[in-house]
Amino acid sequence: MRNRLLATALCVLAVTLCTTRAEAQNNTNIGELGVVFWNPDPELTLQSGSLTGATGITDIDFVQEFGIEKKTFPEVRLTVGRSHKFRFAYVPVKYEADATIQRTITFRGQTFVVGVPASTEIKWNILKVGYEWDFVSMDRGYFGVVGELKYNKLEASIGSPALTSPAATDQDAPVPTIGVAGRGYVHPLVAISGEVGGLKISSDDFEAKFVDFDINGSVTFGRYIGVQGGYRAVTVDYVIEDDSGDLQLKGPYFGVVVRF
């Protein structure tokens, strides 16, 4: 009985491979929608509204001070087009933690002394919209340049029973980036993709750097649906007036992709 089940499964797999080989390896899709779940290691250092002569640490490592732990976040990715593509992606990042202050820190002009109970909430929404031109586009893959606007919406706050309201900051950091992207089919059903982009801009009252690296592999089951796994690293450094941030998220992700 077991041998019959195994033989049946192998036959189904063989039929699937044969019927999808030509279609899966051809770079003929006009769109791709993916939902992945990202589990990054956070590095979140912020400084906001420091005062001259402040008595506490103003560059606050929120992971160290509040014991922020890894979480998984959903990310939506959409690409439409063939050699000329519209790209969209969005991931909402949110961390919350409670701690007893171990070192005196200052945030938004509020000083939190040793031994005070405090809580923090950090929201970092990363939205990217862009255009990709694949100047190399063949059946077995593509390679092109990417121009995107990476829009970062950051909200951070520290609350304590000692305060009537949380010490909070709210910053928008839109950063245009340029990079490259490519994909190759190592098997009719298996693709390896990668992209990297970034840029640094500065002016009298604004400075920002954004680097985004992503590499992934996908396996297609049939013509339209597949699974995807990869690694993404995002780095943002910014200085806006009297606020600054040194932020990193890097780690693996897994999800599903629909090609049409």
Check residue 173 and give its pLDDT. Answer: 81
Q: How many CA atoms lie within 13 A of 115 on its CB side?
A: 0
pLDDT at 21: 44
Q: Which of 68-72, 117-121, 140-144, 159-163 has the lowest mean pLDDT?
A: 159-163
Q: How confident is the model at residue 24 (pLDDT cuts 50, 70, 90)?
A: very low
CATH number, domain with residue 112: 2.40.128
pTM assigned to the model: 0.85
Contact 92, 73 (CB under 8 A): yes
Q: Could you tell me what percent of the chain has a pLDDT over 70?
A: 87
Q: Is 68 in contact with 42 (CB distance < 8 Å)?
A: yes
**Where does the pLDDT of residue 26 fall: very low under 50, low under 70, confident under 90, or very high at 90 and above?**
low
Residue 27's pLDDT band, with cuts at 50, 70 and 90, is low
What pLDDT, on a 0 to 100 scale, did the predictor assign at position 29? 77
Selected residue with higher pLDDT from 64 and 48: 64
By DSSP bridging, strand 84-100 and strand 73-81 are antiparallel
Lowest mean pLDDT among 5-9, 182-186, 203-207: 5-9
DSSP readout, the chain?
-HHHHHHHHHHHHHHHHHHHHHHHHS---SEEEEEEEE-PEEEEEEEES--TT-SSB-SEEHHHHH------EEEEEEEEESSEEEEEEEEEEEEEEEEE-SS-EEETTEEE-TT-EEEEEEEEEEEEEEEEEEEEEETTEEEEEEEEEEEEEEEEEEE-TTSSS-EEEEEEEEEEEEEEEEEEEEETTEEEEEEEEEEEEE-SSEEEEEEEEEEEEEEEETTTEEEEEEEEEEEEEEEETTEEEEEEEEEEEEEEEEE-
Phi and psi based region of residue 28 (left: phi greater than 0; alpha: psi -120 to 50; beta: remaining):
alpha
Q: What's the rounded Cα separation, in Å, for the pair 109 and 239?
A: 17
Query: Is 86 a residue whose pLDDT tops 50?
Result: yes
Instruction: Report pLDDT for 165.
Output: 85
Q: What is the pLDDT of residue 144?
A: 97
> CA nearest 62: which of 107, 22, 27, 26?
107
* In the predicted structure, residue 15 carries a pLDDT above the cut 70: no
Structure-model confidence comparison of residues 197 and 223, the more confident one: 197
Q: Name every residue whose Cβ is closer than 8 Å to that of residue 114 and which is 6 or more positions away in sequence.
A: 101, 102, 103, 104
Evaluate if residue 2 carries a pLDDT over 90: no
Task: Average the pLDDT over 171-178 and give the result.
Answer: 88
Query: How many domains does one find in the chain?
Result: 1
Is a pLDDT exceeding 50 seen at residue 205?
Answer: yes
pLDDT band at 203 (very low <50, low <70, confident <90, very high): confident
The mean pLDDT value for 24-51 works out to 83
- For residue 52, list its beta bridge partners: none
CB atoms within 10 A of CB 172: 10
Q: What is the pLDDT of residue 140?
A: 87
Residue 191: pLDDT above 60? Answer: yes
Residue 8's pLDDT is 42
Position 44 scores a pLDDT of 95
**Which structural domain, as residue segments, surrounds residue 140?**
2-259
Beta bridge partners of 68: none
